[in-house]
Chain A
Amino acid sequence: MSKYFKIFGVGLQNTLVYRWNFLLRTLFDIVPLFGTVYLWRALYGSRQQTIGGYDFGAMVYYFLLTALVSDLITPTDDEWQIAADIRDGQLNALLVKPVDYLKYRVGLFLGNRVTSSCFAVPIVCTLFAFFHTYISFPERFITWPLSVLSLAMAGLLQFFLAYAVAMVAFWLLEISTVVFIVFSFEYFLSGRLFPLDLLPGWLGETLVWLPFTYELYFPVAVFQEKVVGVKLLQGFLIQAGWLVAAWGLGRWMWVRGLRKFQAVGG
């Protein structure tokens, strides 16, 4: 286990090398966030009504939380790095070492998340301070641990999906199209653009069963106490189900892919 802690440390340092990259990225992320807030402000206008159960403050708060969650857990370059490992034959060096590649990547991912969160959290906290009138904390204490749990599961789900996508590199030279197709589903269906409960009837019902909901929307909804009771339990079960499925898919593709692996450049 201790060797994976070392890898975690490497992940920490990797991010520090390119600190400007991460700092700028987080700063630039603020622009669409403000754009979204302006858009919804125009939508609410002077009317004192709610849209889909959100008043303006709750809506702004929703987008702040998604920004925070996204900064904390979304893998940044992991799928590109994994694909590059496979394509350029870097994998050889790792295959001969007594490490498990998936655990190695998880270690790097966690290290990377911790460091880039250190850049992102102060910026996001400044934003929270700026919009402080809209912020409210959960009423029930149990919401806190539940939110942390769903957050952690969402992070791992995002990572395992990225891992599975990267495994496509065993079969295709160029995976960027696949990455962007998956990303476009994530972008529109994970709640980044609007809270998913704004969707009408059947569409909303369908999304509950898709993995994208559990990558971003679900942890935020848990924290905002939008899902409670049986729905909450159901949500956690579906999230856990997708987590295991994504992990299994990544594992399966790894085993199949290795059989095909040609060790280019090795």
Chain B
Amino acid sequence: MQRYWQIYVLLLRNSLIREMAFKANFLLWLVTELLWFFGQIVFVEVLFLHTEHIGDWSKWEVVLLIGTHQIISQVFQAVFYVNLANLPELVRTGRMDLMLLLPVDTQFAVSAYRFGLDNLVNALVGVAFVVFSLGKLGVVPNALQIGCYATAVFLGAAIHYAIMFTLATLSFWIVRAQGLIYGYFNFLSIARYPDQVFAGVFKFIFSWLIPVIVVANTPARILARSSAQPLGPMLQLASACVLSLILSRFLWLFALRRYSSASS
């Protein structure tokens, strides 16, 4: 474990040096992500021109929800996104061979070699919006709420990872897997909506099997409402997280056995 930590620190340092070598690119990504975030805020504005509540969520609660989604997805993207998005390319070109030869766990190697600093900055923008919404709502969360929130953000990022890792792993069977990468964004586009809007089979699938709905809703509700009981939702989130991580790991091990390199 200690060894992995040391390796990760080295990789992190490497990534930061790399980022600083391409400053313009770093700034452009920052702007792009900001545009996306503000677009979503504008969308909320448009929705609330025509209504006062969505389910029992008020406007600033929805902004808090979107801010929370922003934090979780940007933390995930900072640590993992570029790496996983590149996995299909590793498989297609056969550069996966190199990863397999490294004296560390291959899942670690393909998941963690690059870090996106711009995403971390954007996560902070999310934090700012969450704090601002709390101010607008007049809510001062207690230590337990903040503790649960932080844990839930961490678990949520892990669920994002499990979903995208599963999709990227499918590239061992489907050679060109950009469509799968889009799948991640498609699934996650519903993660920023209040959970109350969903119903039926759809709600079941995306709360338990591909648990994107609970990811941002659980922490947002815990933070915004002191009356909410945190234990049940936190347990659901934790079990969804563990389950999806285990399943993605099994799929990965199964897929690796199928890998037969390419080109060389």
Contact = CB atoms under 8 A, between A and B. Distances in A.
Contact of B197 (A39, A178, A194, A198): A39
A41 interface: yes
B174 A21 contact: yes
Given A32-B189, A41-B197, 7 more contacts: A21-B180, A28-B186, A32-B190, A35-B190, A52-B50, A180-B32, A185-B35
B25 A28 contact: no
Interface in B159-198: 174-180, 182-183, 186-187, 189-190, 193-194, 196-198
Interface of B: 22, 25, 28-29, 31-32, 35-36, 39, 42-43, 46-47, 49-51, 54-55, 174-180, 182-183, 186-187, 189-190, 193-194, 196-199, 202, 206
B31 to A, nearest CB: 7
Question: Chain B: interface secondary structure?
Answer: helix
Given A21-B176, A181-B28, A181-B31, A198 B186 contact: no
B202 A38 contact: yes
Q: Which 6 A-B pairs have the closest CB atoms?
A: A35-B190, A25-B179, A177-B28, A42-B197, A188-B39, A21-B179
Interface in A179-196: 180-181, 184-185, 187-188, 193-194
A39 B189 CA distance: 12
Contact of A198 (B46, B183, B199): B46
23 contacts: A18-B176, A21-B179, A23-B179, A24-B174, A24-B179, A25-B179, A28-B182, A28-B183, A28-B186, A28-B187, A34-B202, A35-B189, A38-B193, A39-B54, A42-B194, A51-B50, A77-B178, A174-B25, A181-B32, A187-B39, A194-B46, A198-B49, A200-B49
Contacts of B206: 31
A184 B32 contact: yes
Given A181-B35, A194-B43, A198-B50, A24 B186 contact: no
Contacts of A34: 190, 202
Name the residue in A23, A28, A35, A52 with the highest tally of chain B Cβ atoms < 10 Å from its Cβ.
A35
Nearest to A31: B186
A88 interface: no
A59 B43 CA distance: 16
Given A25-B182, A200-B49, A193 B43 contact: yes
Name the residue in B50, B176, B199, B202 with the highest tally of chain A Cβ atoms < 10 Å from its Cβ.
B50
Contacts of B202: 34, 38
A22 B50 CA distance: 36
B81 to A, nearest CB: 13
Interface string A1-35: 00000000000000000101111110011011011
Contacts of A39: 47, 54, 193, 197
Nearest to A80: B178
Contacts of A42: 54-55, 194, 196-197
B122 to A, nearest CB: 13
A199 interface: yes
B46 A20 contact: no
B64 to A, nearest CB: 17
Contacts of A35: 189-190, 193, 198
B47 A38 contact: no
Contacts of A51: 50-51
B37 to A, nearest CB: 10
A52 B47 CA distance: 11
Given A21-B177, A21-B179, A38-B199, A43 B54 contact: yes
A188 B43 contact: yes
A18 B198 CA distance: 33
